[in-house]
């Protein structure tokens, strides 16, 4: 029951704040959120500053992306999947991605 409620709540949130992405020929709505940069005072490289999460309804994706696959947004941003993240319940899928703009 809680999983159904979470999925319904996410559906409402995504209808308000979702971004249309494509994965191959599949178009779907997802929430794209920046991940906080890891603070390491000795690291002079860019690191994970470009890290985002992409969260979508599992039912929207007939095939689940794997590391190395790319989501494309109409505004020129691309999101390369780094790994699939755990989610509560089976209704959602979440990925950690690297963001870049063409």
Sequence-ordered strand ranges (E) for 35-90: 51-57, 70-73, 77-85
pLDDT of residue 43: 53
pLDDT tens digits, the chain, 102 residues: what are they? 555 666 777 888 888 889 999 999 999 999 999 977 665 555 544 445 689 999 999 999 989 999 999 999 999 999 999 999 988 777 899 999 999 987
Domain boundaries, the chain: 2-37+46-101
The pTM is what? Answer: 0.81
Q: What is the DSSP letter of 4?
A: H
Please report the pLDDT score of residue 37 as a whole number: 63
CATH architecture of 2-37+46-101: Beta Barrel (2.40)
């Amino acid at each position: 029951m809680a999983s159904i409620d979470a999925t319904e709540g996410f559906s409402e949130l995504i209808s308000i704040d979702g971004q249309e992405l494509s994965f191959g020929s599949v178009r779907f709505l997802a929430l794209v959120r920046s991940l906080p940069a890891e603070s390491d005072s000795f690291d002079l490289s860019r690191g994970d500053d470009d890290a985002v999460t992409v969260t979508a309804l599992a039912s929207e994706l007939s095939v689940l992306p794997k590391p190395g696959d790319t989501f494309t947004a109409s505004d020129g941003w691309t999101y390369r999947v780094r790994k699939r993240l755990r989610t509560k319940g089976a209704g959602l899928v979440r990925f950690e991605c690297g963001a870049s703009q063409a």
